[in-house]
A = this chain, B = another copy of it.
Amino acid sequence: MNRLSINTATTKNITLAEAVRLYTDAGLSSIGLWRDRVAEAGLDKAARLVSEAGLSVSSLCRGGFLTAADEAGQQAALADNTQAIIEAATLGTRELILVVGGLPAASHVTGGSAVGPSAPGDKDVVAARSRVADRIAELVPVAQEYNVRLVLEPLHPMYAADRAVLSTLNQALDMASPFPAETVGVVVDTFHVWWDPSLEASIQRAGSERRIASYQVCDFNLPIAADPLLSRGFMGDGYVDFETITRWVAATGYAGPVEVEIFNQEIWNAPAADVVETVKKRYAELVLPHL
C-alpha cells in the first residue's frame, strides 16, 4: 500500500484530523488534501497534523478557475492561486492540482429556451483557453518561488462548459510545453481521460516530457449522476479499464503516488472506515498488479 494515497474529498464527511488518523491506521503513507479540509483545520495546524502523523502529501486540490475575461476576475484568480501555492508549500507538497475553469457564460446558467442567445464572446472557448495560458504564465514565477508545481488537470468534456476548457491530456501537455517540467505538470485522472482515443500516446508523451505529477484513479459510473460531478465511483464499479491505463502509466516509469479521489453521494454517506477498506481492496485487485 506504499503508493496508495486517498484524497480527503473521498471521505468528505470527516475532519482532517479524523482522516489523518483513519488513513494512517489503514497503513497508508500519503494523503491527498482538499482545500476545504485544510481551511477548516487552519493551514498551519493542517500541516502539523499531517507531518506529525508521518504522512506525505500527494497533492493539494485545487487551484485554477483562470478563464475570467475581466480584469477584476483575473486579479482574483491570481490572488487565489497564489494563496493555493503558498498552502501547497506550507503543507509540504509540490503538486498543486489546477481545474482551469469553464466558459464565463456558464457562470450564469439559466437553462430554458425563453432566455435566448447570450451575448457573443461569452462562448468563445478558443479565447477562454488562451486566457488560461496567459494566467499560467503569470503564475509560473510564483510557483517557482515556492518550489511548487502547477498541475494541469484535463477534465472530462462533459465539464467543458462550466469547469474546464482543458479536456484532453494532449491539450494539457501543449499548454504546459512553454514551461519547465518541474514547474508545470499534468495529472492523469482515469475518470476524466479513459475515453480518449489518443490516451496511450498522450501518456507516453507525458512520461517522456517528465510531466506526470499525479496518477488519480477512480471509476466512471453510469448512469451519470444527477449532479454529474458525483459520477465518480470505486474502481471496478464503472467502465474504466484500469489494467490497460495503469500499464500505460507504469510504462512511462512513473513511480509516484496513486491517489483515489471519489465524489459520490452514496460513498460520502457510508462510514469512512468502510470506504477506506473498499478503496484498499479495489486498489489491490485492479490497480496494484499493473503498476
Chain A interface residues toward B at CB < 8 A = 103, 105-106, 109, 111-113, 115-118, 120, 123-126, 129, 156-158, 160-162, 165-168, 170-171, 174, 194-197, 200, 220-224, 226, 228, 233-241, 243-244, 266-267, 278, 282, 285-286
A229→B235 CA distance, assembly (Å):
25
Kindly report which residue of chain B lies nearest to residue A236, judged by CB atoms.
B117
User: Is B233 a contact partner of A126 (Cβ separation < 8 A)?
Assistant: no
Number of copies of chain A assembled together: 2
User: Is B161 a contact partner of A125 (Cβ separation < 8 A)?
Assistant: no
| Chain B residues whose CB sits within 8 angstroms of the CB of A109 once the complex forms | 222-223
Q: How far is the CB of A251 from chain B (nearest CB, A)?
A: 15
User: Is A125 a contact partner of B194 (Cβ separation < 8 A)?
Assistant: yes
Kindly report which residue of chain B lies nearest to residue A116, judged by CB atoms.
B236
User: Is A239 a contact partner of B123 (Cβ separation < 8 A)?
Assistant: yes
| Chain B residues whose CB sits within 8 angstroms of the CB of A106 once the complex forms | 222, 239
User: Is B266 a contact partner of A112 (Cβ separation < 8 A)?
Assistant: yes
- The interface centre, meaning the residue of A112, A125, A129 with most chain B CB atoms within 10 A of its CB, is A125
| Chain B residues whose CB sits within 8 angstroms of the CB of A236 once the complex forms | 116-118
Kindly report which residue of chain B lies nearest to residue A200, judged by CB atoms.
B126
- Listed by A's residue number, 9 A-B pairs whose Cβ atoms lie within 8 Å are A109-B223, A113-B237, A118-B236, A120-B243, A126-B244, A158-B224, A161-B222, A165-B195, A170-B197
| Chain B residues whose CB sits within 8 angstroms of the CB of A196 once the complex forms | 157, 167
Kindly report which residue of chain B lies nearest to residue A227, judged by CB atoms.
B223
User: Is A115 a contact partner of B195 (Cβ separation < 8 A)?
Assistant: no
With A125-B241, A197-B168: A220-B161 Cβ-Cβ less than 8 Å: yes
With A103-B239, A226-B226, A236-B118: A266-B125 Cβ-Cβ less than 8 Å: no
Q: How far is the CB of A190 from chain B (nearest CB, A)?
A: 11
User: Is B158 a contact partner of A125 (Cβ separation < 8 A)?
Assistant: no
User: Is A158 a contact partner of B161 (Cβ separation < 8 A)?
Assistant: no
| Chain B residues whose CB sits within 8 angstroms of the CB of A125 once the complex forms | 194-195, 241
| Chain B residues whose CB sits within 8 angstroms of the CB of A200 once the complex forms | 126
A162→B244 CA distance, assembly (Å):
19
User: Is B167 a contact partner of A223 (Cβ separation < 8 A)?
Assistant: no
| Chain B residues whose CB sits within 8 angstroms of the CB of A243 once the complex forms | 120
User: Is A115 a contact partner of B222 (Cβ separation < 8 A)?
Assistant: no
